[in-house]
Copies of this chain bind each other. A is one copy, B any other.
């Protein structure tokens, strides 16, 4: 039974229109009544009802974000940036955890659309046809984050995985390594799998390093256990490796861990470079050299793009964010 604008109006002896005008600083009232109304608002502890506002304004000042997984530093940093930008623009963010499950994703999209969010950020996951059709039909603006669609014209923000992987491999080469392996993620992942593998390959071939299928190991995902398995497999099929590019930081930490178990010293015997620059990266032993994505910045950018769509109506250009080699202690110069 909280107070409404009517209560304020009645007590202040004005119409609700006047109260509304004062609340929104629209002018059309005298200073005297303004103070009187403000005083009543103060006394009643009146809080305007954003639901009613949303109904009439058709803006809820809320955006929805879909993540495949919540408990991951990668997602966390993205979310951090999104939340910041949203807050700066006077909006809130609803988080959804899809578990990469198509049905759940559709349910969440439906929920968000029923709640009339102003926009949707779809992160770290492949945009299926079904999803795209659904949200375009609902005419809700959408941005892809840390993913991209080749089939549909949905603006995205991400780093160029191909280039970043190239840079990672080149860093290893520049440090004098020639026996370079890769612990990749999912072989057929169009976003995080293939481009990184191809970038890696290109860097080697550009620098005259021969490459056999034994140089690369494939995994089921991009997680810690995949990294420990990965190293074991790689060592088996490519015993001469002196440097490894892991397709994610979690996998890199996994290989660090596996190396420790196997009694292999990093970076003395094997150098490791990761991908992502998660918080973890600086906490590992040794601290992980990695190619960093500006995750928080990416999140911010995505949210801001959403807001520009809402204001201008124009779909903004996609943004390729810069990656950067973060040198720490897990890669060593190799001298022959």
Which A residues are within 8 Å of any B CB, using their own CB?
2, 45, 47-52, 54-55, 60, 62, 64, 70-73, 75-77, 79-80, 83-84, 87, 92-97, 110-116, 137-139, 224, 250, 253-254, 256-257, 260, 279-280, 282-287, 296
Q: Is the CB of A77 within 8 A of B71?
A: yes
- Residues on B with C-beta less than 8 A from A296 are 71
- Residues B95 and A139 in contact, CB atoms below 8 Å apart: no
Of all chain B residues, which has the CB nearest A113? B47
Contact A47 B92, beta carbon cutoff 8 Å: no
Closest Cβ–Cβ distance, residue A288 to chain B (whole Å): 11
- The distance from the CB of A52 to the nearest CB of chain B, in whole angstroms, is 6
List, in ascending order, chain B residues with CB within 8 A of A112's CB: 92
Q: Is the interface of A mostly helix, strand, loop or mixed?
A: helix
Q: Which residue of B has the minimal Cβ distance to A58? A: B51
Q: Which residue of B lies closest to A65 (CB)?
A: B95
Which residues of B are found within 8 Å of A114, using beta-carbon distances?
47-50
Selected from B45, B49, B94, B260, the residue in CB contact (under 8 A) with A93 is B94
Looking at the assembled complex, report how far the CB atom of A62 sits from the nearest CB atom of chain B, in whole angstroms: 7
The answer on a CB contact under 8 Å between B285 and A257 is yes
Contact among B45, B52, B116, B285 for A50, CB-based, below 8 A = B116
Q: Is the CB of A92 within 8 A of B70?
A: no
Cβ contacts under 8 Å, A84 to chain B: 97
The residue that A49 contacts in the complex, of B75, B110, B116, with Cβ under 8 A, is: B116
CB distance from A326 to the nearest CB of B (A): 16
Cβ of A62: which chain B residues have Cβ within 8 Å of it? 94, 115
In the complex, chain B residues whose CB is within 8 Å of the CB of A254: 283
Partner of A54, one of B51, B224, B250, B283: B51
Measured between alpha carbons, how far is A239 from B35 in the docked complex, in Å? 67
A257 CA / B282 CA spacing, docked (Å):
10
The chain B residue sitting closest to A55, CB to CB, is B51
Can you list 17 A-B contacts with CB-CB less than 8 angstroms, sorted by A residue number? A45-B137, A47-B113, A49-B55, A49-B114, A49-B116, A62-B94, A71-B296, A76-B76, A79-B95, A83-B95, A83-B96, A87-B96, A93-B94, A94-B94, A224-B282, A257-B287, A260-B286
